[in-house]
């Protein structure tokens, strides 16, 4: 559910939505890392000015945490 939201929302922001890929890694019990792979040109758009875009994504994800007991970490890497 969370990874679907991150992928769908990110596709609305970037210039090359077809190149977006998402990977989920289980770091610890109750902690997953969501790694979003994007073109180098799109990484800045996903982070946003002063990190506002990525912080907005993290805020929505933290709302999902209230529904379940998992914590999520979001990382963006260029392809």
Q: Are 52 and 44 in contact (CB under 8 A)?
A: no
Per-residue confidence at 12, pLDDT binned at 50, 70, 90? very high
pLDDT in tens, 16-75: 999 999 999 998 888 899 999 999 999 999 999 999 999 999 998 888 776 677 888 999
Q: Are 46 and 13 in contact (CB under 8 A)?
A: yes
Residues 6+ apart with CB under 8 A from 27: 33, 73
Q: Are 51 and 74 in contact (CB under 8 A)?
A: no
pLDDT at res. 66: 66
How distant is the alpha carbon of residue 8 from its chain centre? 10
pTM: 0.85
CATH of the domain at 13: 3.30.300.20
Number of domain units in the chain: 1
Range of the domain at 63: 2-78
């Amino acid at each position: 559910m969370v990874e679907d939201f991150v992928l769908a929302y990110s596709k609305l922001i970037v210039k090359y939505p077809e190149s977006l890929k998402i990977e989920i890694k289980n770091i610890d019990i109750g902690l997953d890392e969501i790694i979003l792979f994007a073109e180098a040109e799109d990484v800045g758009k996903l982070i946003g000015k002063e990190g506002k875009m990525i912080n907005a994504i993290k805020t929505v994800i933290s709302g999902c945490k209230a529904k379940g007991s998992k914590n999520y970490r979001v990382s963006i890497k260029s392809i």
